[in-house]
Amino acid sequence: MKAHKKMWIIVGSLTIISILVYLFFWMVTSPYDLFPDDPIRAIRMREAILNILSRKGIQVLAMIVSAILISSTSLVFQTMTQNRILTPSLIGFDAIFITVQTAIVFLFTSSSIFYLNPYLNFLVATIMMLGVSLLMYRLILRNNRNNIVFLLLVGIILSTLSRSLASFLQTIMDPEEFQSLTIRTEVSISNMNTSIIWIAIPMMLIVLTALTKDLKTYDVMTLGEPQAIGLGVSYSKKMNLALVYIAIAMSVATAMIGPISFLGLIAVNAAREILKTYRHLPLLILSSLIGIIFLVLGQAIIIETGYLTTVTVLISMVGGAYMIYLVLKENRT
């Protein structure tokens, strides 16, 4: 830890700077006079500023929560599957979430309580996600852990398949139903769904507490399955639990900011490169911070440049290139 003191300070302050930039930078570039002399206009302006700040505050909160959830569960997912490249998003978790939402509307109609009530909707979607991910683990992940290229392929197929399935269901759906469905499926970072932020935060705290309790066990699990069992880890129990956390985290994150494929990959691998450790505690903290920086700072820049592109595209570009590099590196050794 000591050797990295400087790095921690830099990353920590970068995180804070990102958040501040996102919250306040618009004031600098705003064409309006934010603090007019006229007292009546000043009051209105102050109201408007507070309004914008509170909206931006919730958005930042949603991004922080999502970044932490994506980064930390990507880290644990990599330990569980014994590789450095795959993340829950790459294997298709977020695509599954969209399909699950579509299936809910299709099965229960959009006027049903399962869809309209954000909490209930979230619960049902998470449970379905859980089922799918456990099934996926049993059928594919467990037996092909070492075959990264194969798993990536499965991820691509799974994402495409579930997207096609979703659009198929959307096609045969009643147009009005379809309209209301887009509220949930077309969520993205520029079109955040912050309505569930108040369950997202406790969910994040629950997942984080559960994960931190098991961090030492995850350290042992990096030795591989046989050795971990030999050292008394109830491997399959820990694995199933971790999948539950991952499914919850991916549901929360995807519901709020939509799918972001490469964020977890960038955050976790950057943290690994910097720290060069197997210990999960520092890795989890650093990858979460890096995730926040990428997401929040990225989005702030996108907004300031007048939405020339989206941060998702930006992250996909950096992350995609990085993944190609990782796959090539992995194959060489």
**Binding-site ranges for another protein (CB under 8 A):** 84, 216-217, 219-220, 222-224, 226-227, 229-235, 276-278, 333
d(CA 307, CA 147): 39
Kindly state the DSSP code that residue 188 receives in the 8-state scheme: B
Cα 172 from chain centre: 30
Least distance in angstroms from the C-beta of 270 to another protein:
16
Specify which residues 191 forms β-bridges with: 188
Residue closer to another protein, measured from CB, 220 or 311: 220
Write b or e for each residue in 197-211: b if 16 or more Cβ atoms lie within 10 A of its Cβ, otherwise e: beebeebbeebbeeb
Q: How far is the CB of 332 from another protein (least distance, A)?
A: 13
Cβ distance to another protein smaller for residue 219 or 304: 219
Q: Residues 6 or more apart from 33 whose CB is under 8 A from it?
A: 45
Q: Which residue has the tokens 């994402």?
A: 159
**Shortest distance in whole angstroms from residue 69 CB to another protein:** 24
Shortest separation between residue 16's beta carbon and another protein, angstroms: 30
Least Å distance, CB 85 to another protein, is 12
CA 222-227-231 angle, to 5 degrees, is: 100
Tell me whether residue 48 or residue 231 sits nearer to another protein (CB atom).
Answer: 231
**3 state DSSP class of 309:** coil
Min dist CB 83 to another protein, Å, is 9
The angle formed by the CA atoms of residues 98, 285 and 272, to the nearest 5 degrees, is: 90
Which one, 234 or 309, has the nearer CB to another protein?
234
Reduce the DSSP state of residue 191 to 3 states and report it. strand
